[in-house]
Structure 1
Amino acid sequence: MSQSDQTSSPFDDVFSANAEYAANFSLNGLQPVAKRGLALVTCMDSRIEPLDMLGLGPGDAKILRNAGARVTDDTLRTLVLAVYLLGVERVLILPHTKCKMASVENDDVVHDLIEEQYGVDTRSLEFKTDNDQLGALKHDLERIRHHPLLPAGLPVTGAIYDVDTGRVEPTGL
């Protein structure tokens, strides 16, 4: 065995798991459109299982994930593509309880924490932290509702996912 064959990678576990997944792959031929017409904007938090928690399966929805489930310029760009080219007819924004991005007062707190702990100055980035989670959600809903490139009347709503109970509670915003 050569030296390179003996070297392990930090990604061996995921590539090995993929080999098993591919051996039983059953999604060949799945179309790229959202079969149920849904786009879901949610957080990258690993406690969130977007398909299972909403009774969805592969191909049912477009899932957009980022820190804090925020509607960023990139989220809007992706929604425009999803609405016009990928069958999206409605949008659900779904932040969650106990979110790190909603637990700090502002971006400065996160910038300071990263710089203090790791010596990295992240001030060139906007993290979109906001400890008023419902206020941030309302702002993000309005960004979609009033975006000039998205259809007027596109159904958009918000809800909060509870990471302790698995329940999704509509906000009525």
Structure 2
Amino acid sequence: MKDYSFPHEQFDDLLAANAEYTKSFQYSELTGSAAKGLAIVTCMDSRINPLSVVGMRSGDAKILRNAGARVTEDVIRTLVLATYLLNVKRILVMPHTDCAMARGDEADIHALIDEKFGVDTRSLEFRTTRDQKAALAVDVNRIRAYPLLRDGVTVAGAIYDVKTGTIVPVDC
């Protein structure tokens, strides 16, 4: 039988950091709404600090992250909720330069994982792209065309440059 107790030894550093964090915790007055009316769909890449990139702070925006900043069914579901219930009026889809999901195609990623770890991941769609601008246009327009998204929401796309910190708007 598997042991599902909390694995303290692998998370002690995080728990200790959290104990320090709580000493100066300053966000108890925030609500679940996006104070600046923004949602950002971006990549899970740890080089991106989405709030800092657009000059915002905790509580200002909703952040949705996944591999490649792709607009999946779950992203759409979350955006529908955010536009009706959490004050989101603007959506920025923001992939980034030097993204692993833009370096190869689906077959390459599956082969790499199989080669390195012996795991067949072909049942998953990673949504890789060799043309980020084209994929960004598809994703932005997918949101714009979604019939359940709240009327009046503005959707835009930009690519974040991980070397300069610049976001470059893309006409979609």
One-letter amino acid of the structure 1 residue matched with residue 11 of structure 2: F
- Counterpart of 2:112? 113
Normalised by the length of structure 2, the TM-score is 0.93
Distance in 1 of aligned mates of 2:54 and 2:153: 20
- Counterpart of 2:171? 172
- Counterpart of 1:41? 41
Q: Does 1:91 align with 2:85?
A: no
| Identity among equivalent pairs (%) | 57
- Counterpart of 1:151? 150
- Structure 1: tracts of 5 or more residues without a match: 1-6
Of 46-55 and 7-16, deviating more is: 7-16
Distance in 2 of aligned mates of 1:167 and 1:97: 10
- Counterpart of 2:50? 50
SS in 2 for 1:9: helix
Runs of 4+ in 1 over 6 A off after TM superposition: none
- Supply the RMSD in Å over aligned alpha carbons: 1.2
One-letter amino acid of the structure 2 residue matched with residue 15 of structure 1: L
One-letter amino acid of the structure 1 residue matched with residue 142 of structure 2: R
- Structure 2: tracts of 5 or more residues without a match: 1-6
Equivalent residues, number: 166
- Counterpart of 1:59? 59
One-letter amino acid of the structure 1 residue matched with residue 37 of structure 2: G
Distance in 1 of aligned mates of 2:160 and 2:77: 24
One-letter amino acid of the structure 2 residue matched with residue 156 of structure 1: V
Deviation at 1:29, TM superposition (A): 2.1
One-letter amino acid of the structure 2 residue matched with residue 84 of structure 1: Y
SS in 1 for 2:112: helix
